[in-house]
Each structure stands twice: as C-alpha cells, then as structure tokens.
Structure 1
Amino acid sequence: MSFKEQLESGKFVVVAELQPPKGNNLSELYEYAELLKGRVDAINVPDLQNSIMRLGSLSVCTLLKARGLEAIYNLSCSDRNRLALQSELLNASALGLKNILILQGDPPSIGDHFEARAVFDLDVMGLLSATKRLQEGYDLVGNDLQGKPQFCVGTLINAAAKGHALDLEVMDMEKKIRLGVEFFLTHSIYDVSLFEPFIKKVAHFKVPIIAGITLLKSVGMARYVNKHVEGASIPESIIDQLMKASDKQKASIEIAGGLIKALKPLCQGVQLIPIGWEKQIPALLDHVGL
C-alpha cells in the first residue's frame, strides 16, 4: 500500500527522518533504511536542512525507492528559482517518486556556506501552486506539458501558533489544501497539552496531520531547544526525567513513547526525528507497539 493510500485509509502512519550524508557514501544510510524497512510507512529525506551542504533529497529518495521503501522527497524554495523548482518536480516524477514535501527552506546564513546567495524566487504558496499546475498539465506560465506528474503533496504547519498567529495559520492551511496539500507535518511536539488547542482548531479540515517527535538525547539538548527553537516548549517534567535517568537512551525512548501514545488519538501519525539515534527507532516502535 502506498503512503497516499495509507493516509486515505485513515491508518496511523509512522514516518522516520533520515538525513542524507555529507558526501556520497551511503552505507550508513542504507544500514538505517534496512533497520526501518517494514517498521515505518515512509522515510522523509530532508533537502539541505539548516542550509548544510549534503547529498540531495532527490537522489536519496530514488535510491531508497529502488530498495523498496516509500520515500518523501523534500523540495525547498531557498536554493532554486521557479525554472529549477518545476524541473525538479518533473525529475522526481520521471524517477517514480510520488510523495513530495514542499518547504520554505533555510537561509544560507545559518549553514556551512554562509556566503551562498538565497533564492526564494517562489514561496511555499507559489511552489504549491506550481505543483498543482504541473499536475494539471501546465507549467507556471501556461505552457502545455507532455504528461502530467502526480504527487501526494505535503507541507509543514506551525502547530505552536497561538492567538492571531493561530488564526493566520488556519487560513494558510485552508489555502494550502485548496492548492492540493494532502498531509501536513508539524515541527517537534514536546507538550501535548499545547498541541490539543491547535488540533481542535483545524480538525474540520479532515486532512492528515503528522506530528514531529524528536528523540531528546540529554538535558543540555532540551535546554538548548527551549532557549533557541522558536515555539518549542519542553516541560520541566521531561527535563527532570532526563536529568535523573542513568540510561539516557532508555529515558529518551520512554519520553518519546509517552508522547506518541498521547498524540495517537489527536492526529494521524508521527514523524520520528532521531538526530543521530536512528538505531533507537526500532526500540521506540517496540515500546509503543507499532
């Protein structure tokens, strides 16, 4: 069953993020992919995340697909103009990729090539519009295509939005759905009580929402997230649990497992973000019975 079919069936899906290597040695990525094969419903492959130069999402997704895995190709607005973005979508279709995550992307100033120039010729809405046009058989300027690519399109949402920002987020979600978005991913969720109001506000859209779950490695990591990641709020109870744990990996799995169990009635899936702890994902899935 394809990822799109699983979403349409209402299944609670599990997505795992696998970061492409900084280079062309794929042995470690393949090792992780084999660990996850049959355990997750799709592998999400970031596209130059945090503006760090790496192997591209397109090639990694194609190689994972050849190994029998569902992959989610990420395409960002930050590094390509509208010609290249449309061409990349056609490339993905020609290579048999069906799942696309459309992203704004990160400014080069935060990455390892800070002298690079950002592009941002299109924003997320513009790229979603281009994707919709291509699927209808036209490019952005109205030229006919020879063949129509077909994708299962997703994008990110800000589940931490509050007040007026939440109202704007809901309006944006409605626009994105009209542009063909079939699923949404959130940034990492650490406090389910803060996630519930958002879910109640957008439940009427009836579009799958997949919540991000990051494996917290240490108290230091948790403190850093609270201080530097906009919208993130890791409760002190979780930090205290990490602080008291003699086995940090076990504690991290227990924390993530508790979040997954609490999120399961609220959304249609989770994305597991291991940040170097890819080998712990099977243990986490065992812990929650997935």
Structure 2
Amino acid sequence: MFIGAAANPFADPFELRVLRLEKKINAGADFIQTQCIFNVDKFEKWMEGVRARGLHKKCYILAGVTPCKSAGAARFMATKVPGMDVPQEIVDRISAVPKEKQAEEGIAICVETIERLKKVEGVAGFHIMAIEWEEKVEEICERAGLLPRPQV
C-alpha cells in the first residue's frame, strides 16, 4: 500500500509550502499530488525549494494538471477556487479564441504544461484532472508524449 498526500505549491504563505510538504513526507507520504498547475513559474520556484531540501528523493511528486474547457472555467478557477493560481495570461489566451475553439486551446495549454513540467527535476509523473472530461485524458497523454507507456 502506498501512502499519498496532497500539496498546494500556490497557497499562502508561499514561504511555508515546502516545509508543509516536508512534514507530510516525514509523516510517511510515499507520493504527493499537487494542486492544478497553471502558474508554472511559481511551481518551478517551489520545486527549487523541494530540491534544496532533498524532498524529491524521499517521495514521488505527481504534478497536477487540468485542461480548461472554456475562458469562463479559467476565470472561475482563477477567482472562485481557493488555492488556485491561474495567471491572467492563461485566461486571456483562452478568451482570445472563438468560443467553439476554447476547449481545444485549454487542451493545448495542458499539453504544453506537461511538456514543460517533464523537464523539471523532481517531477516523477502527472495527476491529470480532466474534471467531467475524462474522455480527453488519453488524448492529452498521447499529445504530451506520455503514451504509449514505456516498457521497463
């Protein structure tokens, strides 16, 4: 049995986020699933702190990603969901395309996020949260180069 915990790299106060993660690992967490990552720059800064304490070698960190179906969904997450950090650039990017193409833009952003996070030392995998859109998980994985699964 694996023991998992959640981490929110974006909640305030930011300075305490790595210490809270360390407490969870010291309490026995084998893996961590993060809050949805839209602010990749801030996540990378959090991961710097994680690596500085060697926490990425003590547990597996699964980066949380989610595709936005629309500009309205992005705005809702940015303003109404506690602990979420959706930069205005993401909302603006999805808003800039016609409504019928916003879902595709949300998937593209999700795939780009995965591609960038694959390069972050200490990220061991992904927690794909396609909320009420589960049928898109396979497409996201394929487009992000996560499928087919490697043989080990």
Q: TM-score, normalised by structure 2?
A: 0.82
2:82 matches 1:226 = no
Q: Secondary structure, in 3 states, of the residue corresponding to 2:132?
A: coil
2:49 matches 1:195 = no
Where structure 2 has 5 or more consecutive residues not aligned to the other structure, the ranges are 147-152
Amino acid aligned to 1:274: A
> Which residue pairs with 1:152 in the alignment?
2
Question: How far apart, CA to CA, are the structure 2 residues paired with 1:252 and 1:158?
Answer: 21
Question: How far apart, CA to CA, are the structure 2 residues paired with 1:208 and 1:227?
Answer: 30
Give the number of the structure with larger relative contact order, counting CA–CA contacts within 8 Å between residues 6 or more apart. 2
Where structure 1 has 5 or more consecutive residues not aligned to the other structure, the ranges are 1-150
User: Residues 235 and 170 (structure 1 numbering): CA distance in 2 closer, same or farther, change over 3 Å?
Assistant: closer
Instruction: Give the root-mean-square deviation of aligned CA atoms.
Output: 1.7
Question: How far apart, CA to CA, are the structure 1 residues paired with 2:132 and 2:29?
Answer: 30
Question: How far apart, CA to CA, are the structure 2 residues paired with 1:237 and 1:178?
Answer: 36
Contact 1:253/1:287 (<8 A) preserved: no
Q: TM-score, normalised by structure 1?
A: 0.45
> Which residue pairs with 1:272 in the alignment?
128
Question: How far apart, CA to CA, are the structure 2 residues paired with 1:289 and 1:173?
Answer: 28
User: Residues 173 and 239 (structure 1 numbering): CA distance in 2 closer, same or farther, change over 3 Å?
Assistant: closer
Aligned length: 138
Q: How much does 1:288 deviate? A: 1.2
User: Residues 248 and 265 (structure 1 numbering): CA distance in 2 closer, same or farther, change over 3 Å?
Assistant: same
Contact 2:18/2:46 (<8 A) preserved: no
Q: Secondary structure, in 3 states, of the residue corresponding to 1:187?
A: strand
Question: How far apart, CA to CA, are the structure 2 residues paired with 1:287 and 1:237?
Answer: 22
Q: Secondary structure, in 3 states, of the residue corresponding to 1:268?
A: strand
Query: Structure 2 matches for 1:113-262, cutoff 5 A?
Result: 151-161=1-11, 165-203=13-51, 204-205=54-55, 206=57, 207-246=59-98, 247-262=101-116
Amino acid aligned to 1:230: P
